[in-house]
Chains A and B, each alone.
Chain A
């Protein structure tokens, strides 16, 4: 069954430093993979997705993600983090058998000034 895992509950970085949020997947066939961000008391906002093609996907707010088939990973990256990037980040994969998105547990990112 399609699933994703986020191995880190929390990521702490200093403003201006690179930010990486990890996601690994378990998917049969070619995966569709998504990243969402949730700010406090807000809904989930779509950041980017991988469908096919280039392994490096660019998304909103300066984020990008690299699809790595050999490592079954889809890590989210930002070259220079901002304090405003502090939020909860979810990796997700759609499931074909029950019509839903399967989410990772989420990673809380804290960017300190």
Chain B
């Protein structure tokens, strides 16, 4: 059981470049989400999805796009990378929405540096 798989683990981008962080889960979870973790800011929700074909914005969505064409995959796209997007990104999933009490499982993280 792979759980939540994120790629790449590390990435360096130049300002203005675009890229996609991949996230996949093999637990048939309806809910998937992306967080970023920054020193002094904690974990902040970027985007989330409550099922295939349904996405919505979190706290800090600007500069990011997501799609959910399948239950398993939830990629995060950086449209035009900026130094402010230097961060650690975590994908997370759970069977149902967090308020259901289902456990949310996190991926191992993607360390992104924008220069």
Task: Give A contacts to B, CB under 8 Å.
Answer: 32, 34, 36, 41-46, 49, 51, 90, 94-96, 98-101, 103-106
Contact = CB atoms under 8 A, between A and B. Distances in A.
Interface of B: 4, 6, 31, 33, 42-43, 45, 48, 50, 56, 58-59, 90, 92, 97-101, 103-109, 111
Contacts of A106: 42
5 contacts: A42-B109, A99-B33, A100-B59, A101-B104, A106-B42
B97 A99 contact: yes
Given A44-B90, A103-B42, A96 B99 contact: yes
Given A34-B103, A49-B103, A100 B98 contact: yes
Contacts of A104: 42
B101 A95 contact: no
A95 B99 CA distance: 6
A42 B101 CA distance: 24
Contacts of A44: 90, 92, 106
B45 A98 contact: yes
B64 to A, nearest CB: 15
B43 A103 contact: yes
B23 to A, nearest CB: 11
B108 A43 contact: yes
Contacts of A105: 42
A41 to B, nearest CB: 8
A39 to B, nearest CB: 10
Nearest to A31: B101
A104 B42 CA distance: 8
A104 B90 CA distance: 16
Given A42-B109, A101-B104, A103-B43, 20 more contacts: A34-B104, A41-B109, A43-B109, A44-B106, A46-B104, A49-B103, A51-B101, A94-B100, A94-B104, A95-B99, A98-B58, A99-B31, A99-B33, A99-B48, A99-B50, A99-B58, A99-B98, A100-B59, A101-B92, A105-B42
